[in-house]
Amino acid sequence: MCGICGFTGNIPNGDKVIQKMADVITHRGPDSEGFYTDSNISMGFRRLSIIDLDGGTQPIYSKDKSMVLTFNGEIYNYKELRRELIDMGYEFYTQTDSETILHGYEAWGEKVLDRLRGMFGFAIYDSKDDSLFIARDFFGIKPMHYAQVDGHLVYGSEIKSLLEFPLYEKKFNARTLDNYLSFQYALPPETFFEGIYCLLPGHYLRYKDGKLTTTRYWEATFEPNDALTEDEAIDKIEDVFEKSVEAHKISDVEVGCFLSSGVDSSYVSSYFADQKTFTVGFDFGEKYNEIDWAKGLSEKIGVDHHYKVIQSDEFWGNIKKVQYHMDQPLADPSCIALYFVSKIASEYVKVVLSGEGADELFGGYTIYNEINSLRGYQKLPLGLRRFLANIVRPLPKFKGRNFLLRGALSVEERFIGNAFMFNKAEKQKILKDGSIAHEPQEYTAKYYDRAKNYDDITKMQYLDINTWMVGDILLKADRMSMANSLELRVPFLDKEVFNVARTIPYQLRVNKENTKYAMRKAARRHLPEDWAKKKKLGFPVPTRVWLKDEKYYNIVRDVFNSETAKKFFNSEELIKFLDDHKNGKEDNSRKVWTVFIFIVWYNIYFGNDTVEAPKAGDFNY
Known catalytic residues? 2
d(CA 332, CA 542): 12
Q: How far apart are CA 305 and CA 291, in angstroms?
A: 10
* Amino acid of residue 503: T
Number of Cβ within 10 Å of residue 61's Cβ equals: 15
Separation of alpha carbons 213 and 107, rounded Å: 22
Orientation of helix 474-482 relative to helix 319-326, angle to 10°: 110
The dihedrals phi and psi of 420, each to the nearest 5 degrees, come to: -130, 105
Q: Are strands 255-258 and 276-282 parallel, antiparallel or unpaired?
A: parallel
Which among 40, 118, 105, 39 is positioned nearest to 79, based on CA atoms? 118
Q: How far apart are CA 94 and CA 49, in angstroms?
A: 13
| Nearest to 95, CA basis, from 106, 83, 87 | 83
Could you tell me which residues come within 8 angstroms of residue 583 by beta carbon, excluding any fewer than 6 positions away? none
Nearest to 405 by CA among 423, 384, 385, 425: 385
Q: Which amino acid is at 30?
A: P
Q: How far apart are CA 590 and CA 493, in angstroms?
A: 28
- Beta-ladder partners of 279: 307
| C-alpha–C-alpha distance, residues 216 and 411, integer Å | 26
Residue 161: strand pairing partners:
none
Sign of CA dihedral 292, 297, 300, 305: negative
The whole-angstrom separation of Cα 342 and Cα 363 is 26
End-to-end CA distance of the chain: 33
Q: Is 532 helix (H, G, I), strand (E, B) or coil?
A: helix
Cα of 588 vs its chain's centroid, Å? 24
> How far is CA 332 from each of CA 77, 184, 336, 337, 538, rounded to the nearest angstrom?
33, 7, 8, 10, 11
Q: List the helix and strand counts (H, then E) for the chain.
A: 30, 17
